[in-house]
Amino acid sequence: MDQVTYKGLTFEPYITNDTIQNRIAEIAREINKQYAGKQPLFLCVLNGAFPFAADLFRAIDIDAEISFIRLKSYEGTSTTGVVKQVLGLSENLEGRDVIVVEDIIDTGNTIKKLVADLKEKNPASIRIATLLFKPESLQCEVNPDYVGFAIPPKFIIGFGLDLDGLARNLRDIYVLHDDNL
């Protein structure tokens, strides 16, 4: 894997697609076991989570549903601090076992707001699956139930994660090179 450049910023190869797929298979096995006999509703947080949600959902072998919600707070490599709900949820969550699917938990502000909003809809349970988790960047208490990879507080792109809309189509995950900081 080679370096990639977007908007004048250089990114180094970080996590290969093979490694990602192996980890997704492990998480799916855990969910298949823990939700056996139930019919969980996966809730994919657009835009970034769509590749993770697609691969995770395909590896689920119990009855399950998937729906989508769109939230937005990042511009460039930093959060605006304001989480906007761009596309709402149509499903009735009453009594449902919800698994929120995120690409990344960074400051935690997005997932915290989303979980608070979802709880008002009276689901039976809410769990969080995130491909990437930056524990050192958290600004609030968040405990994801399924974590692909815990990573240091560096900006990441690829496999759904973007820099101003670009790089989501990279098969692998890349990290911002330290020289750019």
Ligand X SMILES: O=P(O)(O)OC[C@H]1O[C@H](OP(=O)(O)OP(=O)(O)O)[C@H](O)[C@@H]1O
The answer to whether residue 61 is catalytic is: no
CA-CA distance, 114 to 70, in Å (whole number)? 10
Give the burial class of 140: count Cβ atoms within 10 A of its Cβ; 0-12 exposed, 13-18 middle, 19 or more buried.
Answer: exposed
Given a contact cutoff of 8 angstroms between Cβ atoms, the answer to whether 40 and 64 are in contact is: yes
State the minimum distance, in angstroms, from the CB of residue 102 to ligand X.
Answer: 6
Binding partner at 93 among ligand HPA, ligand X, none, C-beta below 5 to 8 Å by kind: none
Site string for ligand HPA, 134-173 (x = CB under 6 A): ---------------------xxx---xx-----------
Binding partner at 155 among ligand X, ligand HPA, none, C-beta below 5 to 8 Å by kind: ligand HPA
Given a contact cutoff of 8 angstroms between Cβ atoms, the answer to whether 97 and 65 are in contact is: no
How do strand 125-133 and strand 97-105 relate by DSSP bridges? Answer: parallel
CA distances to 91, 160, 162 from 2, rounded to whole Å, are: 42, 18, 18
Given a contact cutoff of 8 angstroms between Cβ atoms, the answer to whether 11 and 177 are in contact is: yes
For ligand X, which stretch binds (CB under 6 A), given 53-61, 90-98, 102-110, 147-155?
Answer: 102-110
* Nearer Cβ to ligand X (36/116): 116
State the minimum distance, in angstroms, from the CB of residue 162 to ligand HPA.
Answer: 6
Number of residues counted as binding ligand X (CB under 6 A)? 18
Q: Which residues bind ligand X (CB under 6 A)?
A: 45, 47-48, 71-74, 79, 102-110, 162
Active site residues: 106
